[in-house]
Amino acid sequence: MATLTTVALEILFIACGLMCFYVGGKTLAQKDHPSRIGTAIFWMLAGLVIGFGKFIQSASEQYGNMAVGILVIAMVLPSMLKKVKSGAGATYDSAHAAKMSDKIGYKIFLPTLSIGGVSLLFALFFGKTAMGANAAIVGLLVGVVIAGLWVLAMSKDKAIELMDGGKQLLDTVGPLCMLPQMLAALGAVFTAANVGSIVAKGAGMIIPQGNVTVGIIVYAVGMVLFTMLMGNAFAAFSVMTIGIGIPFVIQYGLDPTTIGMLALTSGYCGTLMTPMAANFNILPVAILDMKDKYRVIKRQIPIALTLLVIQIIMMIAMG
């Protein structure tokens, strides 16, 4: 099972890499593209890193990691220079799209929901097998395949239409789609660098010894701030729990399950208030072509702050 899991994960990453190659190749073929060279370079290098980075690493024990690092730096350069841009527009027939919309209607959401459903089922039924923590990711791969076949069966379109639709979506979002992976890597770096201990020393200067209420407030607010910085509550959770949650809250006898759960959801309040959470706050702006790129965040700030206060009260009352 472990071998099958490894193979499934490799297939997933290679498929993502090949999709990036497809986007880069199609972009390079667009003569009217506003920045086809820079955009094509970005997606080609992204495909190389995502799909084949592991093979590059294993090719040389001494220089493999450095080679991948150089490719990542080269990949972000076109984005930094603002040379990664979306294409000329829709690649589909608007009349055909309208016809399919009338025919399929809201049933189009069923394949999308099946992706999460299959992933959840894999996590529930295979999470305690040899697949372990990778069960949900393998389920994600299976769910995407099922959803793709389901969409093709519903629309009677060709398989290439899925590729072109994916290309258009990635073209619209651009380099922002890489931000979650970059931030997740940043969280791993912070954990490896023992940032939690540094946070603990700083927290010890402002939290009175044994004052659990102040500890809870600092823990929850710290989760929000770190999540806003890193764009990912999961990445912030390990750092803040090691630095504040355990030494200033949990060690005084509070229920770790309740405290940990509410601390994590407190971090999600930070997700609502930061552009670093690109998949939540910047992606809708890019897709809807909104003029104010921070409009989503502005609307969510009052909700996030209200939820934070409620969760702090729950931590104090239930912990």
Burial 166-188 (b: 16+ CB within 10 A, else e): ebbebbbbbbbbbbbebbeebbe
Task: Give the span between the Cα atoms of 170 and 69, in whole angstroms.
Answer: 23
pLDDT given for residue 132 in this prediction: 75
d(CA 129, CA 144): 22
CA distances from 286 to 38, 229, 267 (A): 19, 21, 24
Q: What is the pLDDT of residues 110-142, one digit of tens each?
A: 998 999 899 999 888 887 777 777 888 888 889
1 pLDDT more than 70:
no
Segment 250-304, tens digit of pLDDT: 888 888 888 888 999 999 999 899 887 777 777 777 667 778 878 888 989 999 9
86 and 169 in contact (C-beta within 8 Å)? Answer: no
Q: Give the tens place of pLDDT for each residue, 19-74.
A: 999 999 999 988 888 888 999 999 999 999 999 998 998 888 888 889 999 999 99
Quick one: pLDDT at residue 15? 92
In this model, does residue 96 exceed pLDDT 80? no
Domain boundaries, the chain: 1-88, 90-157, 179-318
- Reported as a single tens digit per residue, the pLDDT across 149-204 is 998 888 888 888 888 888 888 888 888 778 777 777 777 777 777 777 777 778 77
Cβ neighbours, 10 Å, residue 66: 11
